[in-house]
Structure 1
Amino acid sequence: GLITKVIVGLLILCFIGHASGLALRWFISGHAPWSNGFETMIYIAWVTMLAGFIFARKSPIILSGTSVLAALALFVAHLSWMNPEITNLVPVLKSYWLTFHVSLITASYGFLALAAILGFLNLFLYLLQTEKKHNAIKNKITELTAITEQSMIVGVYLLTIGTVLGAVWANESWGRYWGWDPKETWTLIS
């Protein structure tokens, strides 16, 4: 109805404002705005909403879930221990690989977060099943499961491509593709 259209319109305006803020931060800093914890959380919130808009036509609940996730990410970004200051990059980050590698890795988090929230929602729907509501809830579970799978596929592809690009960046920076340091090891595990 009308309320849904107004809410979606407001979400689109907020999304455009968020994108403008990221673009302005990029312009001011001279580098991609995902080089510290604050910027990363802001970017993840933006990508989470992007994932929501991509999958919103498949189910109306998607935008609700991604709005909550994006709001949580923005809340975390604005906690007192996150520094919003724009700073210069350390020498190893002054690379075009920052734009590609980090953007793909962190973009995957938005799609994987959507998959996670839909997975939790599906578990909740399983608990709500009764004999009266079985078919309606089963159809919703099937619908959300398909979207969860698609979101996970996008997330894993982005994560894989980002990891490969990270190895290329590591080779360019340190002369090796893989060094088994803790960050790289946990990347492999994930």
Structure 2
Amino acid sequence: MIKEGNAFFIALGLYSLATIAYIVFFMLRKEKYAKYGSLIIKLGIAFHTIALTVRTVEASRLPLSNQYEFATSFAWGIALCFAAFEKKYNFKALGTFVTPLILLIAFYAALQSREIRPLMPALQSRWIIIHVLTAVISYGAFAVACGISLMYLIRDKFKSDNFISNHIPDFKTLDTISYRATAIGFIMLTIVIVSGAIWAEQAWGRYWQWDPKETWSLITWIIYSVYLHVRLTRGWKNKKAAVFSVLGFIAILFTYIGVNTLLTGYHSYAFISML
């Protein structure tokens, strides 16, 4: 059977190649490279799924309990969401803006320890599955929304021609797709916070600790709730909405990478379990 580490690094290599293919496609405007990128990213997802499956078998649990496991699952979730949106809306330029995010998180995972250790008592709960899986889906959807929003913000910088018309949707379509991805992410993030509160009460006797991770998750939730509120009540769309989407994903990245690296708290158990 293929080793988990080998499968992960093959996936990482494929994600790198896919990113290069999409960038070459966008810069040289040669459609064949987008086809290569789309095929390679799917191969990457396949090997990534194998890596996660092997990890699950070896650990006798879902791979959702430490920095490496969540980071690799996070990258996998972004890749899956991207593949789904690319297939549904059929515009290849999306890969130029989303695959670098997949690669960023995958490389972050590669820097973490892959050692398998028993779950700490606080992690031995059925809520871990709901809490972390919804986080993976949420972050993946927000990453896609961020990529689409970046595309929106720079679309008017490119001279309109057949390539732009064929491979980048108009502003209205980009805005709509970004909104749908954000709505999915927001629903999942709400479940993340609620399930985390229930889990915290069982593990520590309190629903909310004002832990740095909890606080930044709440800040991120507020950013996206403001985005949805002003969009629905005041008609904020287009560029303002795109800026909110990008800021929201920056908050997501800080919540996950920045908080874990710079701050300590109850959620440090996942980081400590690797030391």
Question: Which residue number corresponds to residue 207 of structure 2?
Answer: 177
Describe the shift of the 1:145–1:167 C-alpha distance in structure 2 as closer, same or farther (beyond 3 A).
same
Question: Which residue number corresponds to residue 106 of structure 2?
Answer: 74
Describe the shift of the 1:92–1:152 C-alpha distance in structure 2 as closer, same or farther (beyond 3 A).
same
Partners of 1:158 and 1:116 lie apart in 2 by 16
SS state at 2:170 partner: helix
Question: Which residue number corresponds to residue 181 of structure 2?
Answer: 151
CA contact (8 A) 2:94 2:147 kept: no
* Percent of aligned pairs sharing the same letter: 31
Counterpart amino acid of residue 147 in structure 1: I
Q: CA deviation at 1:2?
A: 6.5
Q: CA deviation at 1:3?
A: 5.8
Q: CA deviation at 1:119?
A: 1.3
Question: Which residue number corresponds to residue 22 of structure 2?
Answer: none
Question: Which residue number corresponds to residue 124 of structure 1?
Answer: 154
CA contact (8 A) 1:101 1:162 kept: yes
Partners of 1:110 and 1:121 lie apart in 2 by 17
**Pairing of 1:30-179 with structure 2 (within 5 A):** 30-56=60-86, 57-58=88-89, 59-79=91-111, 82-128=112-158, 136=165, 139-179=169-209
Describe the shift of the 1:187–1:2 C-alpha distance in structure 2 as closer, same or farther (beyond 3 A).
closer
Q: What do residues 84-133 of structure 1 show as CA deviations (whole Å, max 9, x unaligned)?
A: 22222211011111111012123211111111122122111133367x89
Q: CA deviation at 1:51?
A: 0.8
Question: Which residue number corresponds to residue 231 of structure 2?
Answer: none
Describe the shift of the 1:7–1:121 C-alpha distance in structure 2 as closer, same or farther (beyond 3 A).
closer
Question: Which residue number corresponds to residue 9 of structure 1?
Answer: 39
Question: Which residue number corresponds to residue 187 of structure 1?
Answer: 217
Partners of 2:58 and 2:32 lie apart in 1 by 39
Unpaired segments ≥5 residues, structure 1: none
Q: What RMSD, in angstroms, separates the aligned Cα atoms of the two structures?
A: 2.5
- Which 10-residue stretch deviates more, 147-156 or 100-109? 100-109
Partners of 1:164 and 1:41 lie apart in 2 by 21
Describe the shift of the 1:139–1:33 C-alpha distance in structure 2 as closer, same or farther (beyond 3 A).
closer
Q: TM-score, with normalisation over the residues of structure 2?
A: 0.61
Q: TM-score, with normalisation over the residues of structure 1?
A: 0.85
What is the count of residue pairs matched by the alignment?
186
Unpaired segments ≥5 residues, structure 2: 1-30, 221-275
Q: Which has the higher contact order (CA 8 A, sep 6+)?
A: 1
Q: What do residues 148-179 of structure 1 show as CA deviations (whole Å, max 9, x unaligned)?
A: 11111111111001111111111222222223
Partners of 2:105 and 2:60 lie apart in 1 by 24
CA contact (8 A) 1:49 1:63 kept: no
